[in-house]
Structure 1
Amino acid sequence: MKIAVAVSGGVDSMVSLHLLKAAGHDIFAIHFLTGYEKSENISHLKLLASHLKHLKIEMITVDISQAFQSKVVDYFISSYAKGQTPNPCVICNAKIKFGVLRELALKQGADCLATGHYAQTEKQSDGNYLLKRGIDLKKDQSYFLSMLSEKQLSTAVFPLGKWLKKDVVGYASKNGLSSIVQPESQEVCFIHERYPDFLIRSGCIKRSPGSIVTVSGQIIGQHNGLHEFTVGQRRGINCPGPYPYYVVRLEQSTNKLIVGKKSDLLSENCQVCDINWIKERPDKPCLVDVRIRYKSPAVPAELYPTHTNQATLYFNSQQSAVTPGQIAVFYNGDVVIGAGRIGV
């Protein structure tokens, strides 16, 4: 079996590559350019290429900037234009890494594509594949892979699924990788400035001042554009009041920013659309654990399928700042059942 390893130069992808080589697999590295690289990223690419040449591992570099722009960046901008808060990493994994990049890897003779994600796949007796959490629950990245199809999962390899992050860092240090890996970043890879500035500079969103209004209908101030806010945000409202104000919702039709108390952020349910069912769509209501954003723990909820790719979630306990545009991921134990976009 020939495996293409997607390498970014970070510790996770580099350790994944080393583990697969040590296990005796026939591998090659594949690195993609998005068109949004910093100058230091380009400099590091030369260091990465030199290291792989020393290991006698072929590296293919592909420019997928056009696809990245249309499938990820444009999606990000259009979501904000609709008053939603997207998660571009989820879309990138489904449409770029395991979409465009996977297809390129297969054309180069690979049978599978490996990445440094902390997640697991499992082949069932019927030949279908499951997506499961990585054993390091603090680092688990099954959330970011939740929009992958079963077909994509069938050719996915996650060498770090059974590893703890601290052990990966230790392996890198022990094997002399620490000096060549790039520092990790928690930011969106194509944005190197404030989100609002990036959105305005895109030319697709214009500053559109409007009213800041409390949930009771009182106008208390002005905002410079809804693109500067997301549900649950406190910073930037800049309106004095009897209590701290939080963004409750973005009212796109009237260009109003609706604010309220922290308790006004609580929701008992939410709509989910554009659902990707990895397992078969349930034909009746079922109990799930759901994550409404990556940094939130999974919470119990009842899932009511309403249409082929739509459902309503009823939380066992109220959840704060359920944000339109974010991804809700449904779990049954450690197994990802499906995921979709939280609706307005």
Structure 2
Amino acid sequence: MRVVAAMSGGVDSAVAAGRMLDAGHEVVGVHLALSQSAATLRESARGCCTIEDAGDARRVADVLGIPFYVWDMAARFKHDVMEDFVAEYSAGRTPNPCLRCNEKIKFSALLDKAVALGFDAVATGHYAQVVERADGGRELHRAVDSAKDQSYVLGVLDADQLARAFFPLGDTTKPDIRAEAKERGFYVASKPDSHDICFIANGDTKGWLTSRLGEQPGEIVDAASGEVVGSHQGAYAYTVGQRRGLGLDRSHMDGDPRYVVGVDAASNRVMIGTSDLLGVNAIRGDHARWCGPPPEGVVEVGAQVRAHGEEVPAQAWASGDDVEVRLSGRIRGVAPGQSVVLYDGTRVVGSASIAKSWLER
């Protein structure tokens, strides 16, 4: 097969490209330029897509002896990921940009361009596994390394995208991947992993949002009493479950911690309360994406609402683009805009964007 190996400049995508070549595929390395003003050097483990990263990817391609190209997708990334990120926070929702990037960039824009150029598939360094069924269909499963499993952020892939996706690292642990990279002579073998939001290199999400949305002063309100207990400079900077950075005067409160329990974008209010107001056991999701046929009727699943969160037994049923999920127990800090990803054992069933969550007694 002719395969585009998406090469970020990190160790995982480097080994993924090498493994695809070892498997006998015709491999071309592609680095995605996602920033319209890329930094020259990486300053920390945060961020990505610097000129230094592109150079690291090119050096790996040279070691492997494969062609290498840089594809400019900065405008598409800005529209589909960064502007979406701002719009979601502005609406009082908490998005996961990694899911959006996988859905809109790596397995849409990149895959579409690759297919248009005559390639058969895209390979990435994600930690997940693709299992082929006897009937030729493909399933997405969790990685062997549970600490690095990235199946959650791939839950947005549909059956057609999954049919053209390879994840060569899913059967290996991260320490073994680094050891393999060293054996292959890759300069990036000990390069730190990227983490957090790639386009906010300093990790200051609040500051980044404020620079784009401006200060929007509003009230912090006690959800139980309706009393105004504080003020903020922008409700968009808060998310359900948040405890730190509330800036409350605790002198008139009891000793229980306070958390964000709701963000009302329309009134620019942040609602706070005690932990008992955070627990939910019912979720309604929209924008459903299925990694195969949609479930029929009520099905038993595992539900996960964060990239490294705990999977909770649940029942789910689909209705058009919507999904209803009933959890076996309460979970805390479920925010609109997050994604709920559904599992059947290790298999990813699909995902949806959380529109509402509540406690059903």
Q: How does the TM-score come out when normalised to structure 1?
A: 0.94
Instruction: Tell me if structure 2 keeps the 8 A contact 1:48–1:180.
Output: no
The reply to whether residue 4 of structure 1 matches residue 14 of structure 2 is no
Q: State the match for 2:30 in structure 1.
A: 30
The residue matched to 1:101 in structure 2 has which SS? helix
Cα distance in 1 for residues equivalent to 2:296 and 2:105: 31
Name the amino acid aligned to 1:338: G
Q: One-letter code of the match for 1:69? A: K
Taking structure 2 as the reference length, the TM-score comes to 0.90
Distance 1:94 1:132 in 2: 17
Q: How many Å separate the matches in 1 of 2:345 and 2:200?
A: 35
- 2:14, 2:60 within 8 Å by CA — same for their partners in 1? no
The reply on whether 1:220 has 2:229 as its aligned counterpart is yes
Cα offset for 1:49? 1.9
Q: What corresponds to 2:302 in structure 1?
A: 289
| Equivalent residue number for residue 267 of structure 1 | 280
How far residue 337 of structure 1 moved from its aligned partner, in angstroms, is: 0.9
Partners of 2:114 and 2:21 lie apart in 1 by 17
Aligned position for 1:74: 83
2:205 paired residue among 188, 192, 195: 195
Paired AA for residue 104 in structure 2? K
Tell me if 1:95 matches 2:104: yes
Q: How many residues align?
A: 341
How far the C-alpha of 1:251 sits from its partner, in A, is 1.6
Residue of structure 2 equivalent to 1:15? 15
Task: For 2:221, give the aligned amino acid.
Answer: V
1:45-87 CA deviation, whole Å, 9 max, x = no partner?
Answer: 2343244234321001110111111111111111001000000
* Unpaired runs of at least 5, structure 2: 42-49, 357-361
Displacement of 1:99: 0.7
Aligned partners of 1:32 and 1:63 also within 8 Å:
yes
Match of 1:108 among 114, 117, 124: 117
Bigger drift between 131-140 and 106-115 goes to 106-115
Percent identity over the alignment is: 33
Residue among 56, 59, 74 paired with 2:68: 59
Map of 1:48 onto structure 2: 57
Q: 1:309 to 1:139 in 2, by over 3 A?
A: same
Q: Which moved more, 1:273-282 or 1:318-327?
A: 273-282
Work out the CA distance in 2 between the residues paired with 1:123 and 1:189.
32
- State the AA in 1 paired with 2:345: G
The one-letter amino acid paired with 1:158 is F
1:39 maps to which residue? 40
Secondary structure of the 2:24 match is coil
SS of match in other structure, 1:343: strand
Structure 1 gap segments, 5+ residues each: none
1:222-237 equivalent positions in 2, closer than 5 A: 222-237=231-246
Classify the secondary structure of the residue corresponding to 2:330: strand
Corresponding residue for residue 134 of structure 1: 143
CA distance 1:201–1:85, change in 2 (3 Å):
same
Q: Per-residue deviation at 1:319?
A: 0.6
